[in-house]
Amino acid sequence: MKVRDILEKACHENILTKDEIKLLLMAEGEDKDLLFKTADRVRKEHVGDEVFLRGLIEFSSYCKNDCFYCGLRRSNNQAQRYRMQEDEIVEVAKRAYQMGYRTVVLQSGEDMYYNKDMLCSIIKKIKSSVDVAITLSIGERSYDEYKAFKDAGADRFLMRFETSNRQLYEKYHPGMSFENRIECLKWIKSLGYELGTGFLIGLPGQTIDDLVQDILLVKELDADMIGIGPFIPHPQTPLKDAKEGSVDLTLKSIAILRLLIPDANIPATTALGTLDPLGRQKGLMCGANIVMPNVNDLKYKLKYELYPGKICINEDATKCRGCIESIIVSLGRKVGQGKGQSRHYKRAA
Ligand code: 5AD
Ligand code: FES
């Protein structure tokens, strides 16, 4: 089958076979250009030219887990740890609102210091102070906690499954189970959150066939938001000598998922911008429609080191906002107004 025919099928049926996805992941030259162009067109048709910005608040760099790739892993005793207190988190959310953000993403390591009541209180305080959507990105919790956060006012939840290959998952996430992660994602969806999930590109040992399965798993979970980023080796982790993930495969995965879930929200991730100075622009031109700038103080930004070389680490939040806005305009797009709920979610509701 030719790439042109596969793309045609994807546009009409929003589904592809493993072999077809694999062919698209391996596309080069004109075929690759056609994949990107098609994804860009589908993006425009289904979610328009608006690029929505999300204010990212990384509120704790403590983590109970020991993921092989992540700089926040608990065994990294050189990592700088901080916890923001309740009122400080609420203040940053308010500041984000004043800067124009209508979604804040509360992200942290898996830090049980923040128990159910504390997180509910933070969510309620933000919701009663400013009119923003709240996205949580805090990892695995119990059903009861997810329900309580939703009832408190959280709207969306981001949690990547990282890799659909069970062996790789268990190798790189000691003490964690793939089943449990998938179960959490299903709970989150069933509770009525907008669900965001996705995976890492280029974990050592990951094959093209694994990436095909990763793409199909995002489709199967029926994600409203899709986060895909290249793996970047962190010097204080067991994967320090591994090769970084491919920007090209990341862009192709974004493009393919735009075709399979045309109305999803898809960010051009910070990791993409870190490996390629034009990475976010390229992402926005092959299917992405979201950017998630950090709105925290510099003193915290520097300490939340998932991977080295993160962009914008020395820029204050106002500068980043301006910079991102000019990138969006330079691509002939516009900054989204309002909360930018996933259009995929509306349809499912
Ligand atoms: N390189 C790229 N992405 C990483 N993440 C964690 N560590 C790294 C790394 N070294 C990603 C994970 C996680 C998200 C918050 O950050 O995919 O889900
Ligand atoms: Fe932060 Fe460009 S987006 S400096």
Find where tokens 């959490």 sit. 184
Q: Which amino acid is at 14?
A: N
Q: Report the pLDDT value the prediction gives residue 1, as an integer from 0 to 100.
A: 79
The CB of 200 under 6 Å from ligand 1? The reply is: yes
The answer, yes or no, to whether any atom of ligand 2 lies below 6 A from the CB of 244, is no
Is residue 148 classed exposed, middle or buried when 0-12, 13-18 and 19+ CB atoms within 10 A define those classes? middle
Ligand 1 contact via 305 beta carbon (within 6 Å): no
8 Å CB contact between 290 and 343: no
Does residue 193 contact residue 154 with C-beta atoms inside 8 Å?
A: yes
Average pLDDT over residues 185-207: 98
CA-162 nearest atom, ligand 1: 17
- Which atom of ligand 1 is least distant from the CA of 271? 2
- Enumerate the β-bridge partners of residue 60: 83, 108
- pLDDT of 346 above 80: no
Residues 6 or more apart in contact with residue 234 via CB below 8 angstroms = 69, 70, 71, 240, 305, 306, 307, 308
CA of 201, nearest ligand number: 1
Residue 315, judged by CB atoms within 10 A of its CB (0-12, 13-18, 19+), counts as: middle
Task: Give the ipTM of the model, two decimals please.
Answer: 0.96
Q: Would you say the CB of residue 324 lies under 6 angstroms from ligand 2?
A: yes
Query: Of 3.90.1010.10, 3.30.1490.150, 3.20.20.70, 3.30.530.20, which CATH number belongs to 3-348?
Result: 3.20.20.70
What tens digit of pLDDT does each residue of 299-336 get?
999 999 999 999 998 899 999 999 999 999 999 999 99
Arithmetic mean of pLDDT over the chain: 97
The per-residue pLDDT for range 133-178, each reduced to its tens digit, is: 999 999 999 999 999 999 999 999 999 999 999 999 999 999 999 9
At residue 58, the 3 state secondary structure works out as strand
Q: Which of 54, 65, 69, 246 to mutate to test the pocket of ligand 1 (most atoms within 8 A of CB)?
A: 69
- pLDDT by residue (tens digit) across 37-63? 999 999 999 999 999 999 999 999 999
The answer to whether the beta carbons of residues 65 and 176 sit under 8 Å apart is yes
147 close to 99: Cβ distance less than 8 angstroms: no
Q: Predicted confidence band at 348 (pLDDT cuts at 50, 70, 90)? A: low
Distance 39 CA to ligand 2 centre (A): 25
Report how far apart the first and last C-alpha atoms of the chain are (Å, whole number).
Answer: 36
Q: Calculate how far, in angstroms, residue 220's C-alpha sits from the geometric centre of ligand 2.
A: 34
The yes-or-no verdict on residue 123 having pLDDT over 90 is: yes
Q: What is the pLDDT of residue 347?
A: 60
Tell how far the Cα of 158 is from the centroid of ligand 1, in angstroms.
12
pLDDT in tens, 204-250: 999 999 999 999 999 999 999 999 999 999 999 999 999 999 999 99
313 Cβ below 6 A of ligand 2: no
CB burial of residue 146 (10 Å; 0-12, 13-18, 19+): buried
Say how far residue 214 (Cα) sits from the centre of its chain: 14
Residue 20 CA to residue 42 CA, distance in Å, equals 18
Comparing 257 with 1, which gets the higher pLDDT?
Answer: 257
Over 60: is that where the pLDDT of 349 sits?
Answer: no
Q: Which of 306, 307, 310 gets mutated to test ligand 1 (max ligand atoms within 8 A of its CB)?
A: 306
**What are the distances in angstroms from CA 277 to CA 198, 234, 255, 311?**
22, 19, 19, 9
CB distance 315 to ligand 2 below 6 Å: yes
11 Cβ closer than 6 Å to some ligand 2 atom? no
- Is 291 within 8 Å of 324 (Cβ atoms)? yes
Q: Percent of the chain, pLDDT > 90?
A: 98
39 lines ligand 1 (CB under 6 A): no
Q: Which of 298, 319, 335 to mutate to test the pocket of ligand 2 (most atoms within 8 A of CB)?
A: 319
Q: Is 312 in the pocket of ligand 2 (CB under 6 A)?
A: yes
Query: What is the secondary structure of 237-277 as a DSSP string?
Result: STTTTSPPPPHHHHHHHHHHHHHHSTTSB-B--HHHHHHST
